Chains A and B, each alone.
Chain A
């Protein structure tokens, strides 16, 4: 197991390295002049552009830029010299000339928002999805199953932005249950109540579609597991249906769902652009979106790299988790 872990971590790091190069290369080779972009839309002063080019390190060849970028990740980086120098401490992902801020700082501000959104939404959709899925499987063909099917249909066909807007229109504007989202974000540790109030509708919005998807998935997995030979063995032993469902069925049925949830969670941590936009949340999704609109390349590179790192890390975690759930994997590993 230990050797396996070391091997997996080493591969993960290698993949991350390759991804970082690819991401950096894609954005460095785009037909934009990042130095020209620093100067604003109607700027045509070549002197300022050239000065910025040198200051931000875009004057050296691409591969050298990449090495400097990597160096910045580990040692931090200075932009410019003397009193006007801007210092981005390690791990530096670059400097955004639009926001006039180190990318790492921007991400540090946005990540807790996105993480709060993702964790809350996932807990919500796992609870709803697994419960409804198990109930639907248990009462297959009866009214509870039909109701769950209707929920699945609605959930999977309503797009996130529509769910979000509907919630905004009714809960916030018509019924005035929750105040209008101000675009501010309160940390959980500052004011938990306000935190939950701000995030409640985004959680529901984000969880809705996934809960529907997971309901369907769990229902099918449970039904399939219930037809396994080892479930018949459990019945032949004289176990009650309750124990068969809890001990014998759920563990086998939910194993693939752990994988799915891990990867979905990783994707969410990269930022949920639509939900953050609809509810005006200052998360990674909104940061990336405005960076794309403004051609703010350092932010795009930083955010993409972070998403990749999260996906790779979650993959690793899911694989390790799987070995705990399914003993057959342990041997193969």
Chain B
């Protein structure tokens, strides 16, 4: 089996306004050394998918079903059903996560040394000194100079990019098999973004781990992802390897995303393309394709299939599937 196999994941939130289907039947696989990018707008379910896999959604308000099988080396375990105590042993150890906003994701009252050493100590029976040594090693690995001194620094003494490096060091301290990076560069300056993306790509190669990269920006993942899953309204609408997705996008939504990436070679007097309209409310999803109300090409589909039936996720070529009534026609 693959390292991590998510199958038919379904996440529903009970809210006063009704049930929100945040993730609806999502399946994917990641293997060692592979980078999977999950791309989509805010509210498309990409973050919720991964929080569910990490067991970080409050069980009181979230209904979760499906499976997320992780190969821990001692046989596969389903992260969604194992007891909390066993999940805690896996979290931060086999599967680690870095978050969107490094400003708020680090505890403001503890030194970064304290926080990383703590992450190491939970999963390792070793002395404080050994953990400290490992922490320094990692801080150096993520490019923080003078690491020994920086152990005693507080998060607020670091810039955003440095804090994200600290977060990465903390996530990697136990050599995780899977690293989930949830929009790791969204809160950062563009130049720092590039540095962090390169760092993540280098580290992944060096450590041979699997990486799930969540982003709303296809441009960010073009250089580092192996596979891309495009999500819309809680569903995967297109999945392909990175080259194929950029070359032959099938789903009009993917098309829109690609067209909205700023490019240097675009004619000068032309505005950046946008996808008109808003993502649908997840409480009352239409019966048909969730993207239909915003789709510029639904008139090409005969009848009103787009409004009436949700297209299935169909494999068009090996490893490339798309959820669209126009499958095979969108090619341009």
Contact = CB atoms under 8 A, between A and B. Distances in A.
Interface of A: 141, 228-230, 232-240, 248, 251-252, 255, 325-328, 331
Interface stretch (B92-100, B239-247, B281-289, B307-315): B92-100
A209 B54 CA distance: 42
The 10 closest A-B pairs by CB, nearest first: A238-B92, A229-B104, A237-B92, A238-B91, A230-B107, A327-B154, A237-B119, A229-B105, A236-B97, A238-B88
B12 interface: no
Contact of B157 (A228, A237, A248, A331): A331
Nearest to B180: A236
B112 to A, nearest CB: 11
Nearest to A249: B107
14 contacts: A230-B106, A233-B167, A235-B56, A236-B97, A237-B92, A237-B118, A239-B88, A239-B92, A251-B109, A252-B108, A252-B109, A255-B109, A328-B108, A328-B156
A235 B107 contact: no
Contacts of B82: none
A239 B156 contact: no
B56 A232 contact: yes
Given A236-B97, A238-B90, A248 B107 contact: yes
Given A237-B91, A238-B123, A239-B122, A326 B108 contact: yes
A235 B91 CA distance: 8
Nearest to A231: B107
Interface in B309-324: none
A255 B108 CA distance: 12
B106 A327 contact: no
A34 to B, nearest CB: 53
Given A232-B56, A237-B119, A237-B170, A325 B109 contact: yes
Given A229-B105, A233-B107, A237-B122, 14 more contacts: A229-B99, A229-B104, A230-B105, A233-B105, A233-B170, A237-B118, A238-B88, A238-B91, A238-B122, A239-B118, A240-B88, A252-B108, A327-B154, A328-B156
Contacts of B154: 327-328
B101 interface: yes
Given A238-B90, A238-B122, A230 B108 contact: yes
Interface string B61-98: 00000000000000000000000000011111100110
Contacts of A141: 60
B118 A238 contact: no
Interface in B119-162: 119, 122-123, 154, 156-157
Nearest to A235: B56
B59 to A, nearest CB: 12
Could you tell me the dominant secondary structure of chain A's interface residues?
helix
B156 A236 contact: no
Contacts of A230: 104-108
Given A251-B109, A252-B109, A327-B109, A236 B104 contact: no
B105 A232 contact: yes
B56 A236 contact: yes
A281 to B, nearest CB: 40
Which residue, A141, A233, A255, A326, has most C-beta atoms of chain B within 10 A? Answer: A233
Contacts of B107: 230, 233-234, 248, 252
Nearest to B114: A247
A331 B156 contact: yes
A229 B92 CA distance: 16
**Which of the listed residues A237, A238, A325 has the most CB atoms from chain B within 10 Å of its own CB?**
A237
Given A239-B122, A328-B154, A232 B99 contact: yes
Given A238-B122, A331-B156, A233 B106 contact: yes
A228 B122 contact: no
Contact of B92 (A236, A325, A327, A331): A236
Interface centre among A228, A229, A331 (most CB of B within 10 A): A229
Contacts of A240: 88
Contacts of A255: 109
A228 B104 contact: yes
A199 to B, nearest CB: 36
Contacts of B56: 232, 235-236
A136 to B, nearest CB: 15
A141 B118 CA distance: 31
